[in-house]
Chains A and B, each alone.
Chain A
Amino acid sequence: MTAAPIESGVDEARTPLLSVRDLTTTFAAGRRAVQAVRGISFDLYPGEILGVVGESGSGKSVSVNSLMNLLPPAPITRMTGSVLFEGRDLITLSERELRRVRGREISMIFQDPSVSLNPVQTVGSQIAEAIHVHDRKVSRKALRDRSIKLLSMVGVPSPAVRYAQFPHEYSGGMRQRAMIAMALANQPKVIIADEPTTALDVTIQAQVLDMLKTIREETGAATIFISHDLGAIAEVADRMIVMYAGEIVEWGDVDSVFAHPRHPYTLGLISSLPRVDTETDELVSIPGQPPNMAAPPSGCAFHPRCALSQDREPCRTQLPALTPVDDGRMAACHFTGELDVAPDRRLKVAGPAPAPLREAPAGELLAVKDLVVRFPIKSRVIKHTLGHVQAVDGVDLTVAPGESLGLVGESGCGKSTTGLAILRLIESSGGQVVLQGRDLTNLSKRQLQPVRREMQIVLQDPYTSLNPRMTVRGIVGEPLETHGVGSGASRRKRVDELLRLVGMGPEHADRFPHEFSGGQRQRIAIARALALDPKLLVLDEPMSSLDVSIQAQIVNLLQRLQRELSLAYLLISHDLSVVRHVCDRIAVMYLGRIVETGTTADVYARPTHPYTQALLSAVPQPDPSGRGNRQRIVLTGDVPGPDKPPAGCRFHTRCWRAQDRCKHDSPELIDRFGHGHPSACHFAAAPGEDVPEGVDDPADDAVSADHR
């Protein structure tokens, strides 16, 4: 690719701070060379936040890590092109010269703060080190003072105490703040944030995103913000780059890219996202699999998956150049002119819940009553129990036949544990799990065996949920074998049928899991779960380790299967948008308890528990146009550990409505308004409404009849 004439972009007047031209990064993997970044060019202007979005393998992380030559030393890497920063070409600088740039003029924030901090050094000393390595003259005391100031600047409470603590004494969100403090230590001109919120929960993510915006305002530093999450990009970025297969396919200001994508891949990405703020029809997924970077497709790398291309000549043979399109934006597509469809054509107008397409499910397939799961905390030496972690603390749920219930919450809230306990893969410590009128909690292993045919699980990580040493046929056929269903030939037929059902073919049956991509593996896992014709599927975060475009494929598959096989789903997820899209009803969990439950439409339209409200408002939305007038509730603090949950209402430590009684009086989950969706808050109120008089005492509230 030739150097793109970026200068014709929108910011002609200003001079770029950082200008990247034709950057190529090659890894020697075995005997082959893999080009992870294939000749990208872009400019970063002072004070802007530049979003870089792309799926895994798109080269977005490699490209920014190439800027300061920070790639892990393991594979042999080669870089060509230029990275001009204040008159110097960073690519040609020696390691020694580069060191003076790193952390002083350009600093970085990494993805997972739990592994990015040295575990055996105090957080304070690591921040101080960032200053010390660039200015040896600063005294110890001054280092300490400045570090503490930085910690308080990023909102770490009691910074003087925190200064002397080790990373493992910090919570996840706090660690990321410390990383940010470290990045700010020398007032850099450029901050590179590589997926800084990916490892964080949604309420913590909201805090960090806010902080990135504040930092830009206060320090004027330019930021490169890398994310796979279009919502996060839309939330903070001014301009954005879309990457695919190591190349930039689209570049422009955030508003217009989201409003009118000029590249079919960008359009595909946006359309494959379910929305938390509106109802969506079937997601428009991008077909196919992510490109194989060792042998990228010829011509335009996206053409095998492109709906616009229709396998036309130039797409197959010619690499499209990144060229300016209409309003000063750039796109790399031969037929960008044909792409004039507004992406929101599929969005329905936000409003009240649409009429359900299916009949409202009736009856009770699964009923969970007062489920409790406790894990003992054992001492390291003599194995005696020190105490308990109350992972699930009195959960009630029902799922009707053919219905889908979403169980949402942040990490550590106990939602996965609930799922595993329902299937008796973890033993519960109390309560009942009733499936089709039969209490499972006291069944023996033998008695449980026939019940297992009725409910199955799909796990989160398709990379570990398939035995790497078994063929797909062995994996999908294992349930049939275990339950003695059919024999040789009929089982073969059934496996082929199951594979076809999930969109794969019999030709895949004799292969091994490692030969498939993440999305394909998840399809295999679904096929296995369906082998015995279950009535209920527990889906434990089945999409969370997949890329956006693949996630949409799986969501569509699950919805199709539900229609065709009238399955009931218990979808466990942290992703509120997916749950809104898939589920009929939703239950929100916080620290082992359900805080609010109701129909999806109701809860999303009128959340009454402050936690639900905060959760919903914290989800970044892939719609930059509305970011100015959206009301965000940013919760302070972190989720307390489940080993020492707060007394009373467990949410009171982070709640803005909390009053004295919340500290000791645990609220019950009851329907306070007669909307048919109960919530567990003494001061429940829909957003924008004040707490209604008289509602604060549930004992007096006689209107709590269930209208469903």
Chain B
Amino acid sequence: MLGYVARRLIIAVPVWFGILLIAFVFVHMLPGDPVQMLIDPSQLSGASHEFLAQKRAELGLDKPLPVQWLIWMRNIAEGNLGYSYQQDVPVTHLISQRFGATLLLTLTAVGLAIAVAVPIGVMASLKQNTFVDYIASGVSMLALSIPVFFLGLIAIYIFALQLNVLPSGGEHTLGVPATLWDTIQHLAMPACVLAAVLLGPYVRYVRQSMLDVLRQEYITTARAKGASRYRVVVKHALRNALIPLTAVLAVQVPALLAGTVVIETVFAWPGLGQLVYQSIEGLDYPVILVIVMMSAVLVLICNLLADVLAAVLDPRIRL
């Protein structure tokens, strides 16, 4: 097992390296000059050209790209992830602030989605081709088709603007000391909307996976033993059916962590997604690069985790 993990990590190095290189090239291809972004446009007169050059040298942007790449790689190797151009704080500081918010949002949403999707998917598979199944399939299809921002807008319209029961955005009420209840209220809508969107694919996975397992002969064996329906479904079928779901989650969770831009925009949730968006607009190279690097690491870790989990759940898989 440990050997397997080590080998996987070694293999991942070139992949990860490639991702960094591509990201580095992309970032530097962004149109515009990051240094100019630092200055108030109204002050951008001829006099500040010297200042620009000085700033550029300060940030190391005057060197040829390959040199910049090498410097950046060295810094990363030394654990120095750099400073944000825009806010002049360490990138790590900036990201750790936002990461917490995003993690809270996505994990709540994923947890919620699983908690709802598993029972629904199981029910749908047990009552295949009945009313229950059609409703479950219809709802999951709907969840799969509605754009997340549109669902978010509808939720805000109903709960914040019409019913006025939930705040329309933000992580907590400004100017008031943060309380748990306050955070929950703010979290409720974005988390539920994100969960609703995730629900679609999850229900379909669980249902299909259960149908596949229920067709297996060992299910008939269990029934022939006289095991109760609950026992057959939960102990024999569900456990086998959930194994493939772990692989799906492993791919999805890291993508979610970096990919909640849209929902964070709708709900003004101060997470990573918004940071990415702002950084791209402000040409904040170090921040973009670190976020890309971090998500690549996350993808890797989650995939590895999925493999290990699969081996734990399924004794046939040996690592």
- Determine which of A74, A121, A133, A380 lies in contact with B225 in the assembled complex, contact meaning CB atoms within 8 Å: A133
| Of listed B225, B229, B231, B239, residue having the most chain A CB within 10 A | B225
CA distance in complex: A104, B226 (Å): 7
- Closest beta carbon of chain A to B307's beta carbon, Å: 9
Is there a chain B Cβ closer than 8 Å to A465's Cβ?
no
Interface string of A344-383 (1 = CB under 8 A from B): 0000000000000000000000000000000000001110
CA distance in complex: A133, B226 (Å): 7
Q: Are B236 and A118 in contact (CB under 8 A)?
A: yes
- Closest beta carbon of chain B to A132's beta carbon, Å: 9
Contacting residues, chain A, for B11 (C-beta < 8 A): 381-382
- Determine which of A68, A99, A381 lies in contact with B8 in the assembled complex, contact meaning CB atoms within 8 Å: A381
Q: Are B221 and A110 in contact (CB under 8 A)?
A: yes
- Chain A, 78-117, CB within 8 A of any chain B CB: 95, 99-104, 107-108, 110-112, 115-117
- Chain B, 215-265, CB within 8 A of any chain A CB: 215-218, 220-229, 231, 236, 239-240, 243
- Determine which of B228, B229, B240, B243 lies in contact with A118 in the assembled complex, contact meaning CB atoms within 8 Å: B240
Is there a chain A Cβ closer than 8 Å to B31's Cβ?
no
Contacting residues, chain A, for B218 (C-beta < 8 A): 115-119
Contacting residues, chain B, for A134 (C-beta < 8 A): 226
Contacting residues, chain A, for B4 (C-beta < 8 A): 380-381
- Closest beta carbon of chain A to B91's beta carbon, Å: 33
- Determine which of B128, B214, B224, B313 lies in contact with A108 in the assembled complex, contact meaning CB atoms within 8 Å: B224
| A110-B220 contact in complex given A120-B315, A381-B4, C-beta closer than 8 Å | yes
- Chain A, 173-197, CB within 8 A of any chain B CB: 179, 182
- Closest beta carbon of chain A to B296's beta carbon, Å: 19
CA distance in complex: A119, B229 (Å): 19
| A100-B226 contact in complex given A120-B315, A133-B231, A168-B316, C-beta closer than 8 Å | yes
Is there a chain B Cβ closer than 8 Å to A27's Cβ?
no
| A107-B221 contact in complex given A74-B215, A381-B4, C-beta closer than 8 Å | no
Q: Are A73 and B7 in contact (CB under 8 A)?
A: no
Q: Are A102 and B7 in contact (CB under 8 A)?
A: no
- Interface residue SS majority, chain B: helix
Contacting residues, chain B, for A73 (C-beta < 8 A): 128, 214
Q: Are B239 and A120 in contact (CB under 8 A)?
A: yes
Is there a chain A Cβ closer than 8 Å to B314's Cβ?
yes
CA distance in complex: A462, B205 (Å): 33
| A72-B221 contact in complex given A102-B226, A168-B315, C-beta closer than 8 Å | no
- Determine which of A103, A110, A179, A380 lies in contact with B226 in the assembled complex, contact meaning CB atoms within 8 Å: A103
- Chain A, 152-180, CB within 8 A of any chain B CB: 166, 168, 179
Q: Are A70 and B220 in contact (CB under 8 A)?
A: yes
- Chain B, 76-135, CB within 8 A of any chain A CB: 128
CA distance in complex: A118, B319 (Å): 21
* Minimum CB distance partner of A104 in chain B: B226
CA distance in complex: A197, B165 (Å): 67
- Closest beta carbon of chain A to B210's beta carbon, Å: 12
Is there a chain B Cβ closer than 8 Å to A255's Cβ?
no
- Chain A, 379-399, CB within 8 A of any chain B CB: 380-382
Contacting residues, chain A, for B316 (C-beta < 8 A): 119-120, 166, 168
Contacting residues, chain B, for A101 (C-beta < 8 A): 226
* Minimum CB distance partner of B223 in chain A: A70
- Determine which of B7, B229, B243 lies in contact with A382 in the assembled complex, contact meaning CB atoms within 8 Å: B7
Contacting residues, chain A, for B224 (C-beta < 8 A): 68, 70, 102-103, 107-108, 110
Contacting residues, chain A, for B239 (C-beta < 8 A): 120
* Minimum CB distance partner of B229 in chain A: A95
- Determine which of A72, A95, A103, A133 lies in contact with B215 in the assembled complex, contact meaning CB atoms within 8 Å: A72
CA distance in complex: A70, B8 (Å): 45
- Closest beta carbon of chain A to B224's beta carbon, Å: 4
* Minimum CB distance partner of A122 in chain B: B315
- Closest beta carbon of chain A to B123's beta carbon, Å: 14
* Minimum CB distance partner of A133 in chain B: B227
Contacting residues, chain A, for B226 (C-beta < 8 A): 99-104, 130, 133-134
Q: Are B225 and A119 in contact (CB under 8 A)?
A: no
Is there a chain B Cβ closer than 8 Å to A623's Cβ?
no
Q: Are A72 and B220 in contact (CB under 8 A)?
A: yes
Contacting residues, chain B, for A478 (C-beta < 8 A): none
Contacting residues, chain B, for A70 (C-beta < 8 A): 220, 223-224
Contacting residues, chain A, for B240 (C-beta < 8 A): 118-120
For chain A, the bracket of interface size reads 35 or more
Is there a chain B Cβ closer than 8 Å to A282's Cβ?
no
Q: Are A110 and B217 in contact (CB under 8 A)?
A: yes
Contacting residues, chain B, for A43 (C-beta < 8 A): none
- Determine which of B128, B227, B229, B313 lies in contact with A120 in the assembled complex, contact meaning CB atoms within 8 Å: B313
CA distance in complex: A100, B240 (Å): 25
- Chain B, 294-319, CB within 8 A of any chain A CB: 313-316, 319
CA distance in complex: A119, B243 (Å): 12
Is there a chain B Cβ closer than 8 Å to A238's Cβ?
no
- Closest beta carbon of chain A to B234's beta carbon, Å: 13
Contacting residues, chain B, for A115 (C-beta < 8 A): 216-218
Q: Are A166 and B315 in contact (CB under 8 A)?
A: yes
- Determine which of A68, A133, A179 lies in contact with B228 in the assembled complex, contact meaning CB atoms within 8 Å: A133
CA distance in complex: A120, B218 (Å): 11
Q: Are B315 and A116 in contact (CB under 8 A)?
A: no
Is there a chain B Cβ closer than 8 Å to A696's Cβ?
no
CA distance in complex: A73, B233 (Å): 13
- Closest beta carbon of chain B to A497's beta carbon, Å: 44
Q: Are A120 and B217 in contact (CB under 8 A)?
A: no
CA distance in complex: A504, B207 (Å): 45
Contacting residues, chain B, for A277 (C-beta < 8 A): none
Contacting residues, chain A, for B214 (C-beta < 8 A): 73
- Closest beta carbon of chain B to A575's beta carbon, Å: 25
Q: Are A103 and B225 in contact (CB under 8 A)?
A: yes
Contacting residues, chain A, for B314 (C-beta < 8 A): 119-120
- Closest beta carbon of chain A to B10's beta carbon, Å: 8
CA distance in complex: A182, B239 (Å): 21
- Closest beta carbon of chain B to A705's beta carbon, Å: 52
Contacting residues, chain A, for B243 (C-beta < 8 A): 120
- Closest beta carbon of chain B to A297's beta carbon, Å: 31
- Closest beta carbon of chain B to A73's beta carbon, Å: 7
Is there a chain B Cβ closer than 8 Å to A48's Cβ?
no
Contacting residues, chain A, for B319 (C-beta < 8 A): 380
- Closest beta carbon of chain A to B264's beta carbon, Å: 36
- Determine which of A102, A112, A126, A168 lies in contact with B223 in the assembled complex, contact meaning CB atoms within 8 Å: A102
CA distance in complex: A102, B223 (Å): 8
CA distance in complex: A103, B216 (Å): 18
Is there a chain B Cβ closer than 8 Å to A129's Cβ?
yes
CA distance in complex: A556, B38 (Å): 89
Contacting residues, chain B, for A103 (C-beta < 8 A): 224-227
Q: Are A116 and B225 in contact (CB under 8 A)?
A: no
* Minimum CB distance partner of B316 in chain A: A168
- Closest beta carbon of chain B to A321's beta carbon, Å: 33
Q: Are A119 and B315 in contact (CB under 8 A)?
A: yes
- Determine which of B8, B220, B227, B315 lies in contact with A129 in the assembled complex, contact meaning CB atoms within 8 Å: B227
- Closest beta carbon of chain B to A383's beta carbon, Å: 10
Q: Are B7 and A99 in contact (CB under 8 A)?
A: no
| Of listed B214, B223, B239, residue having the most chain A CB within 10 A | B223
- Determine which of A95, A99, A116, A166 lies in contact with B220 in the assembled complex, contact meaning CB atoms within 8 Å: A116
* Minimum CB distance partner of B239 in chain A: A120
| Of listed B7, B220, B224, residue having the most chain A CB within 10 A | B224
Known: A99-B228, A110-B217, A133-B226. 9 other contacts (CB 8 A): A70-B223, A115-B216, A116-B217, A116-B218, A117-B221, A120-B313, A179-B221, A382-B7, A382-B11
Residues of B bordering A, CB below 8 Å: 4, 7-8, 11, 128, 214-218, 220-229, 231, 236, 239-240, 243, 313-316, 319
23 CB contacts below 8 A, A to B, read A72-B215, A72-B220, A103-B224, A103-B226, A108-B224, A110-B220, A112-B217, A116-B218, A117-B218, A118-B240, A119-B314, A120-B314, A130-B226, A133-B225, A133-B226, A133-B228, A166-B315, A168-B315, A168-B316, A179-B221, A380-B319, A381-B4, A381-B7
The 9 A-B pairs at the shortest CB distance, nearest first, are namely: A103-B226, A103-B225, A102-B226, A108-B224, A166-B315, A118-B218, A115-B217, A116-B217, A130-B225
